[in-house]
Structure 1
Amino acid sequence: MSARMPLPAADEAGGSQAVKAQLRLREMILAGELAGGARIAELTLVERLGVSRTPIRAALMRLEQEGLLDALPNGGYAVRTFSERDVSDAIELRGTVEGLAVRLAAERGVAGVVLAEARTCLEEIDRVLEQPALDDESFTRYVAANQRFHNLLAEMAGSTVLARELERVVNLPFASPSGFVVVQANTPRARDMLIVAQDQHRQVLDAIERREGARAEGIMREHSRIAQRNLREAVQGEHLDRMPGVRLIRQR
């Protein structure tokens, strides 16, 4: 059998362009640069992003799969809007799947090196929370460490099936572990709420190490309730300057 030939450079370049276009378009939607319900004009995006129509179309297709765009009956795409219930259900689904992941991790056991990496993430969060007040840079550090920790929890289950499904869930709009953390920034109780979340992080890791599956699952389900509360605060409209993508969420 002949050796597999490498992809032509042009294909690699096209794929890279599509990924870049996808990331930029997602950013534009969640930043409120593309309004909810607005039809997407391919030619406008070609000019705005400086790429050809082929990667733009690939990016639009991927964003439809993520749930940020709706395919229109006559062709093309429009920016999707979401009910508050849609987002709440997505967060609930994440909590359920993450809960299953940590229960399996506790029951099956986790390699020491992975547990050590998770503890390192929590130590980074501890260093952020040592500050009496949190600025934008602190929240950026928190989001990065929080994301790494949640990724490690998914890895601990040792299941490619669960990892794939969890990836799909967290890609649902506003359903990621840090989807609404920015809502807490610069609020009087911001640090207090993150300290509660951090305590839950430590409790779930402790449950995994002690092989207490039911306890780990319950803590993870409860952990998602913080995001539910942040969602309720976000849709009240007090944080649109910090999180304009919330305009895509309908209260009814």
Structure 2
Amino acid sequence: MRENGATVADVAKFALREMILTGDLCPGDRVHQDHLSSLLGLSRTPVRSALASLAQDGLLDYESNRGYRVKQISIGNIRGVFEIRSTLEALACRLAARTGIAASVLDRLDDLVETGDRLLASGELLPDALPEYRKMNVEFHETIMESARNPLLKDFVDRSHNVPLVSDRVILWDDFEIIYRSHNDHRRIAKALRLGDGDRAAALMHEHVYFAGELLVGRLQEDPNLLQDQNHN
């Protein structure tokens, strides 16, 4: 069965992958097939296929007779992946500026910044606004990556996102000052790209991603259950 060109198993995999990458399912959480089938409104067969595929992708661990768990990752590896992400996404900014970015794409980046402005206008990021803010954040980064026109670079960055806690879908939304700083990074990156200043855009992007990693590592060192606590509030 297909839905808009995707199989039901593809739909299940996408939904489960998002749950892991956003932190709705946290490292170490056991994944129950029957519960997920009910939650997604799908039969067990596509969910079973999705779980097996996500295990192959490295997002889940399978234990014989015990089922699947979200893969756990060490603090050191989280920091290491963010270091890789910061370098690669900075390179994407340089390549995008060098090859030239279409006016429509630059306008889209500005639109995404304006979306963030609207969502943060109240002086806080409300829980109900988090999904839209998360979507905006992901699209901002992906738009720049697409503009670099380097499929291998995009593949490497996609792989770096395919790690629990490291994805750009993870938002520590309880600290508005940090969120607003991150959003202003987007504004400055978009402006630098519009001016064709790839070096400045790259420097801003490197600091943007690296700082996010250091922040997350620091918070997790203080509270290993940070994301569970945040997502269950």
The verdict on a shared fold, with TM-score over 0.5 as the criterion, is yes
**Superposition CA RMSD, Å:** 3.2
1:145–1:56 Cα change, 3 Å: closer
Give structure 1 stretches of 5+ with no counterpart. Answer: 1-9, 245-252
Deviation sequence 1:104-144 (CA, Å, 0-9, x none): 01111111110001101001111222212332123333222
Q: Which residue in the other structure is 2:180 paired with? A: 195
Is the counterpart of residue 146 in structure 1 residue 137 in structure 2?
A: yes
How far 1:71 sits from its partner (Å)? 4.6
**Shift in alpha-carbon separation, 1:78–1:111, aligned structure 2, 3 A:** same
Q: Equivalent residue for 1:121?
A: 112
Counterpart of 2:229 in 1: which secondary structure?
coil
Match of 1:248 in 2: none
Residue 102 of structure 1 and its aligned partner are, at CA, apart by 0.6
Is residue 2:193 matched to residue 1:205?
Answer: no
2:222 partner amino acid: Q
Q: In terms of Rg, which structure is larger?
A: 1
Task: Please tell me whether the aligned partners of residues 67 and 173 of structure 1 are also in contact (alpha carbons under 8 angstroms).
Answer: no
Matched, 1:93 2:78: no
Per the normalisation by structure 1, the TM-score is: 0.74
Which residue of structure 2 lines up, in the alignment, with residue 233 of structure 1? 219
In structure 2, runs of 5+ residues without a counterpart are none
Shift of 1:210: 2.5
TM-score of the two chains, using structure 2 as the length reference: 0.79
* Contact persistence 2:116–2:183 (CA under 8 A): yes
Is 1:132 paired with 2:118? no
Tell me the distance in 1 between the aligned counterparts of 2:73 and 2:109.
33
In 1: Cα distance, 2:20 partner to 2:147 partner: 33
Partner of 1:221: 206
Amino acid at match of 1:51: S
Cα–Cα, structure 1 residues 177 and 31, in superposed 2: closer, same or farther, change >3 Å?
Answer: closer
Cα distance in 1 for partners of 2:193, 2:160 equals 22
CA distance in 1, matches of 2:66, 2:220: 33
Q: 1:65 aligns with which of 45, 49, 56?
A: 56
Quote the residue 2:230 is aligned against: 242
